[in-house]
Amino acid sequence: MPAILVPTEKWAGKVREVTLGGDSRKKVVVGGETTLPFLHFDGVIPHAPAIAIDVEDVAPQNWSPVLGAVWGDVMREGLAAWARKAVEAGADMVALTLRSADPDMGNTGPAEAVEAVKKVLAAVDVPLIVYGPGIAAKDNEVLVAVSDAFAGKRLALGLCEDKNYRTIVATCMANGHIVIANSPIDINLAKQLNILITDMDMPGDRILMDPTTGALGYGLEYTYSVMERLRVAALLGDSMTAMPMILNPGREGWRFKEAKTRDGVPTQWGDLEGRGIAWETTTAIAQLQAGADILVMRHPKAVGLVKRAIASLMATNY
Amino acid sequence: MIVIGESIHVISPRVKAALEGRDSKTLQNLAVSQVENGADVLDLNIGPQRREGHQIMPWLVDAIQDVVDVPLCLDTTNAAAMEAGLKRCKRPPIINSTDATETRMSTMMPLAARYNASLIALALGSTGLPNTAEARLEIVMASILPAAEQYGLSTENLYLDPLVLTVNGMQDQVVQAIMAVDYFKQVAVPSPKTTCGISNVSNSIPAENRPLLNQVFIAMMLGAGLASGIMNALDKDLIWVIRTVESRDTSTPRGRLYVALADAVAAGEEFQVEPSMLENPETWDIAKTINILYNRQIYAHSYLSL
């Protein structure tokens, strides 16, 4: 039987490799692809996409009851227990949100932020992503303190947006951290922010790109089409779109009624637990296929399913 | 190319104030400076002006005709204002505009026929933005041309507009609009005219970036055979590009590049940017902009700094 010749694409570009963690702790490298997701016959995919699991420094008020059932005990026990359980659930990294710095959630300051990061770093040895509360002024305040206190730990700090990028980039540069550049599902702004950040002399291999996650049913197709275009541009040689991408299918997948509401929904929707897990998993897998390098997730079962998908897709003989 | 000057536009705070205050001097100065700079036609955009449009448009037409002797392009969705303005025009005017919906065509096409005016017709139907040159052509063939015939408007009096979208967000549409112009010339005998909003290509882009994008875009549109363009006639460099391409003035490096670009578009070829064009201090910015308009590099506001 004649051999079938698989047509291949030779790309000129390559996604940058970004290393998180290290410095006597575990490190994780993401990026480095020379082809579209999982097309091993076209090029090289040196690192499997990584999973981070969300933890917060105060017990969240509005998470789905399904997540409450899984994480409730460690939410009460404290941040260290939560982080440990996240790693047991399969997290390659932990993503800590400094929620208590939100003016409506306690308005804590730099000292509490540093304390929270210290707890997580002491509890687990995987790389750490640290998000501010999502309010530019407070993000700057707490992230700068964390950056200074943990210089050299190669934390990923975010979000860094066009409004506040200078402060976050400057502190990441000074202390050897990674910056998470977030743009609002817009390919042109994503590229522009990377240009602005590298114009400050931030090395390109210390930037992760967050193109903003839309969940299944809530803009997923916008997200993945922007991701695909960014990735194709990167592979065509556009160095300002060639940063690894980080997405938040956990946060977004559990935000909406499909993943939160048990009662008063059509019976065909099925039980809430299965539905919520499916929502997060589907969102994550679509983003994986569009080029996500880091997925920040929430439910251990969803994490398990996505890790299984990654393992099969990374097996070059599938 | 017929240059339609766009500067008398209600979106400009100065123009808006002048219209509200019936300050004819400001508007007349804008008219004179555009014509002195090379405008062949002046667009007069008063907005919808639901209450006073039927008074404002004739007042504005009179004021502008007092100082310049060029055809006018009346730009309002208000049919009463449009008709009142058309009655005052000394030269055959242009109506700006109709889209391809029955509602708008049934209003604007009879007006154009009655007042011997030309009409700008946008390749935009009711089903969302067309995303290919062929979709634009389809709108012209299926909607605009039959309606023109129905309302007694000769195709010579049609200005077909391919609907130019901004490179910032609709980057793949730039080339589609250029290709559509080439198609439009061939849809009827005699050929309909073509026009478009040149500055649309740089909408939502910082002011300092806009002129160069508009200039490179107009060179490409000249190649496609665009008969007229609604543009910033106060931009001397933009007018220079038109004159340079039209007279095939290759005495400067920039002129040579613009002529070569227009020639490639005219021949239906994709213009290739050579490394030497990117290295030449006289032409690097044009060369980078060509790559942006052809959608070879993703647009970002700082694209010239890369």
Q: Do A199 and B301 make contact, defined as CB atoms within 8 angstroms?
A: no
Q: Do B298 and A196 make contact, defined as CB atoms within 8 angstroms?
A: no
Angle between helices B53-67 and B24-37 (to 10 degrees): 50
In Å, what is the CA distance from A121 to each residue of A108, A114, A133, A173? 19, 11, 19, 21
A227/A247 Cα distance (integer angstroms): 10
- Look at residue A318 in the predicted model and tell me its pLDDT: 53
Residue A83 Ramachandran class (φ > 0 left, ψ -120 to 50 alpha, else beta): alpha
Q: Which of A162, A191, A199 to mutate to test the interface with B (most CBs of B within 10 A)?
A: A191
Closest CA to B163 of B109, B117, B223, B120: B120
Q: Do B300 and A195 make contact, defined as CB atoms within 8 angstroms?
A: yes
In B131-220 the beta strands, taken as DSSP E runs, fall at: 158-161, 193-194
Distance from the Cα of B270 to chain A's closest Cα (Å) equals: 18
Question: Is residue A34 one of the residues assigned to a domain?
Answer: yes
Has residue A6 got a pLDDT over 90? Answer: no
Q: Which of A185, A186, A188, A240 to mutate to test the interface with B (most CBs of B within 10 A)?
A: A188
B281/B36 Cα distance (integer angstroms): 31
Interface A-B, measured as beta-carbon pairs within 8 A, has a size of 33
- b/e code B252-279 from CB counts within 10 Å (16+ = b): eebbbbbbbbbbbbeeeeebebeeebee
When CB atoms are compared, the residue of A230, A233, A240 closest to B306 is: A240
Closest CA to B300 of A207, A195, A106: A195
pLDDT digit string, tens, across residues A46-93? 999 999 999 999 999 899 999 999 999 999 999 999 999 999 999 999
Tell me the chain A residues in contact with residue B168 when contact means C-beta distances shorter than 8 Å: 188
A241 touches chain B (CB under 8 A): yes
Question: Is residue A109 one of the residues assigned to a domain?
Answer: yes
Q: Which of B295, B302, B303, B304 to mutate to test the interface with A (most CBs of A within 10 A)?
A: B302
When CB atoms are compared, the residue of A188, A230, A241 closest to B169 is: A188
Tell me the chain A residues in contact with residue B171 when contact means C-beta distances shorter than 8 Å: 188
Question: Is residue A209 one of the residues assigned to a domain?
Answer: yes
A242/A17 Cα distance (integer angstroms): 9
Question: Is residue A133 one of the residues assigned to a domain?
Answer: yes
Mean pLDDT of chain B: 97
User: Prior bond to B261 cis, omega within 30?
Assistant: no
Are A126 and A78 spatial neighbours (Cβ–Cβ below 8 Å)?
Answer: no
Question: Is residue A9 one of the residues assigned to a domain?
Answer: no
Confidence of residue A317 (pLDDT cuts 50, 70, 90): low
Coil, strand or helix at A122? helix
ipTM score assigned to the predicted complex: 0.86
When CB atoms are compared, the residue of B168, B169, B302 closest to A195 is: B302
Coil, strand or helix at A170? helix
Beta bridge partners of A295: A51, A247
Question: Is residue A2 one of the residues assigned to a domain?
Answer: no
Q: Which long-range contacts (CB under 8 A, 24 or more apart) does B275-282 make?
A: B280/B253, B282/B252, B282/B253, B282/B254
Domain hosting A252: range is: 17-314
User: The CATH number of the domain where A118 resides is what?
Assistant: 3.20.20.20
Question: Is residue A245 one of the residues assigned to a domain?
Answer: yes
Tell me the chain B residues in contact with residue A238 when contact means C-beta distances shorter than 8 Å: 297-298
Mind giving me the DSSP string for A37-104?
TT-TTTS---S--EEEEEEESS--SS--HHHHHHHHHHHHH-HHHHHHHHHHTT-SEEEEE-GGGSTT
Closest CA to A79 of A56, A112, A110, A107: A56
Share of residues in chain B with pLDDT > 70 (%): 100
The nearest alpha carbon in chain B to A191 belongs to B300
- Look at residue A1 in the predicted model and tell me its pLDDT: 60
A147 touches chain B (CB under 8 A): no
Number of domains in chain A: 1
Coil, strand or helix at A267? helix
Mean pLDDT of chain A: 95
- b/e code A150-171 from CB counts within 10 Å (16+ = b): beebbbbbbbbbeebbebbbbb
Distance from the Cα of A183 to chain B's closest Cα (Å) equals: 12
Tell me the chain A residues in contact with residue B297 when contact means C-beta distances shorter than 8 Å: 233, 238
Has residue A20 got a pLDDT over 90? Answer: yes
pLDDT digit string, tens, across residues B146-187? 999 999 999 999 999 999 999 999 999 999 999 999 999 999
Q: Do A191 and B298 make contact, defined as CB atoms within 8 angstroms?
A: yes
Question: Is residue A6 one of the residues assigned to a domain?
Answer: no
